[in-house]
Amino acid sequence: MKIYLDNAATTKMSKTAINAMLPYMDNVYGNPSSLHSVGQAASEALAAARKQIAECIGTLPEEITFTSGGSEADNQAIISAARIGQRNGKRHIISTAFEHHAVLHTLHKLEKEGFEITLLDVHENGIVLPEQVAAAIRGDTCLVTVMYANNEIGTVQPIDAIGKVCRANNVLFHTDAVQAAGQLHINVKEQNIDMLSLSAHKFHGPKGIGVLYARKGIPLMPLIEGGAQERGRRAGTENIPAIMSMAAALQESCAHIDENAGRLCVLRDQLIDGLSQIPHSILNGDAAARLPGNVNFCFEGIEGESLLLLLDDKGICASSGSACTSGSLDPSHVLLAIGRVHDVAHGSLRLTLSNENTEEQVAYTIRAVKETVAYLRSLSPVWRDLIDGNREFIIQ
C-alpha cells in the first residue's frame, strides 16, 4: 500500500485529464497552424481549451498564453514586467522572501542587471501584509510579485488586498497561483491581478504544461523565439494533448473546489492535531490561512531526510519541503524566512493531501510519524544533549 502525501510536488492525473488527452494523440493530431481540415480541428480544440481555462479564472481567452509550466510562466511574467519597467525608467521590484525559486532566481538575475529587489518579510506565520506592500511601493516600482499560496507551508496570502494596493498605485501585480489553482477560488478581474501563473501537474493535469495570464495591453516578452504561435508570445507548436488535458483538469477541480476543500480541511486538521502531540514539534505557517491540503511541521532533534526515508519504508510518500531543494544540504529558504533556525529547519516534514487520501491513511500516517520521530530521536546525539540539559530546546 502506498500513501501519497506529496501533492504539492505533483499530483496524479485524474481520469478526466487522461481521457481528455487521448483524442488529440490519435484522431485530432493536426498542427493548429496548418490551414487544412486536420489542422483546423486542432486549432478549434485549442481555442475551446483557451476559453475554458479563461472562464475558470474569470478572464478572456486572448489573455491566456500556454507555457511549459509554472516555472516558465513565472519567468516570463517577471521578465516582461521588468522590460516594461525598464523602458519607463522603473527598475524596482517587490516580492517576498519565500517565493518559489522560479520567481526568486529570476529576480536575482534581474538584480545583477541593475534592478533593485525588495523582498518583504513574511513573519512567523508565513503571511505578508498588504500594508507592507503599500509601504514598499516607490515611484520607480514596476512590479509586485507575491505568490497566492506557498508551496512548502501552504500559507495563503491576502491577494485581494494586495491587488487593490497595486491597482491604486498603478503598479503591475503578478501572482504565482500554482499551488492555489484548483484549491482556492481565482477571479483575476475581481482580484485586480494583472498576471498569474498556473501549472497543470499541480491540479491533476499533465506535467510540462502551464498558463500565463496577462491582462490585455501588457506586452509579454517571448522567452522562446520562432513561429507566431500564442500571438507571438511563445513560439513552438502547441502541446495540444497536454493543453486539452489541462483544461479538463482545471475545470474539474474548479467545479468541486468547495466540496474538495471541505473534505481536505478535515483530514488536514486531523493530521495537524495528531502530529502536534509529538513533543517539541511545531506547525509551520498559519493554522487558519493555509491551503486545505497542506501540513508542515518541524520536529526538534531529527533530520527531515532520515524521517522521509523511514516513512517511505512504511509506504508513506512525503517531503521535507520543496522538491526543488531536496538533495541539497541547505535548509529550506521558506522555513528560514519564517524564522526557523537552521537546526530546526532541517527537521521538517511536509504532508500534502489530495482527494485520494482517506481518514484511515491519515490515522496510519500519524502513528507512523510518531513512531519514526521517537525512533530517530532515540538514536540522535543532539536529542540526548537536549534531554540531558546540555543544550536548550528551541521548540518548547
Alpha-carbon distance of 68 to 41, in angstroms, equals 22
Q: Measured from the CB atom, is 41 or 49 closer to ligand PLP? A: 49
CB 303 within 8 A of CB 376: yes
Among the listed ranges 56-64, 187-195, 198-206, 241-249, the one in contact with ligand PLP (CB under 6 A) is 198-206
CA-to-CA distance for 67 and 224, rounded, in angstroms? 10
- 106 sits near ligand PLP (criterion: CB under 6 A): no
Q: Which is nearer to ligand PLP, 45 or 242 (CB)?
A: 242
Residues with Cβ within 8 Å of 360's Cβ and at least 6 positions away in sequence, in order, are: none
Nearest-approach distance from CB 94 to ligand PLP, in angstroms: 18
Minimum CB distance to ligand PLP smaller for 179 or for 251: 179
| Shortest distance (Å) from residue 210 CB to ligand PLP | 5
Residue 333 engages ligand PLP in binding (rule: CB under 6 A)? no
Q: What's 304's DSSP letter?
A: H
Q: Which of residues 154-193 bind ligand PLP (CB under 6 A)?
A: 176, 178-179
CB of 75 to ligand PLP, least distance (A): 9
* Contact window for ligand PLP (CB under 6 A) among 87-95, 135-143, 195-203, 269-277: 195-203
Catalytic site includes residue 142: no
| Residue 293 touching ligand PLP (CB under 6 A) | no
Cα 85 to Cα 13, 82, 146, 172, 329, distances in angstroms:
39, 5, 17, 9, 36
Q: How far is the CB of 252 from ligand PLP (least distance, A)?
A: 18
Closest distance between ligand PLP and the C-beta of residue 377, in Å?
Answer: 31
| Phi, psi angle pair for 144, to nearest 5° | -115, 125
> How many residues of this chain bind ligand PLP (CB under 6 A)?
15
3-state helix, strand, coil in the chain (%, to 5): 45, 15, 40
Among 210, 285, 293, 321, binds ligand PLP (CB under 6 A): 210
Instruction: Tell me the C-alpha distance between 179 and 152, whole Å.
Output: 10
> Could you say which residues in the range 43-102 bind ligand PLP, by CB under 6 A?
69-71, 74, 100, 102
Nearer to ligand PLP, 6 or 300 (CB): 6
Q: What is the DSSP string of 328-385?
A: SSSPPHHHHHTT--HHHHTTEEEEE--TT--HHHHHHHHHHHHHHHHHHHHH-HHHHH
Interface residue with ligand PLP, options 50, 202, 204, 280 (CB under 6 A): 202
Q: Pairing relation of β-strands 141-145 and 92-96?
A: parallel
Least distance between ligand PLP and beta carbon 71 (Å): 3
Using CA atoms, how far apart are residues 196 and 214, in angstroms rounded to an integer? 7
Of these, 65, 95, 118, 151, which contacts ligand PLP (CB under 6 A)?
151
Torsion of CA 117, 121, 126, 131, to 10 degrees: -100
Using the minimum distance from each CB to ligand PLP, give the nearer residue, 348 or 380: 348
Residue that is written with C-alpha cell 485549442 in the block:
46
Q: For binding to ligand PLP (CB under 6 A), which residues are involved?
A: 69-71, 74, 100, 102, 147, 151, 176, 178-179, 199, 201-202, 210
Which positions are annotated as active-site residues?
A: 324
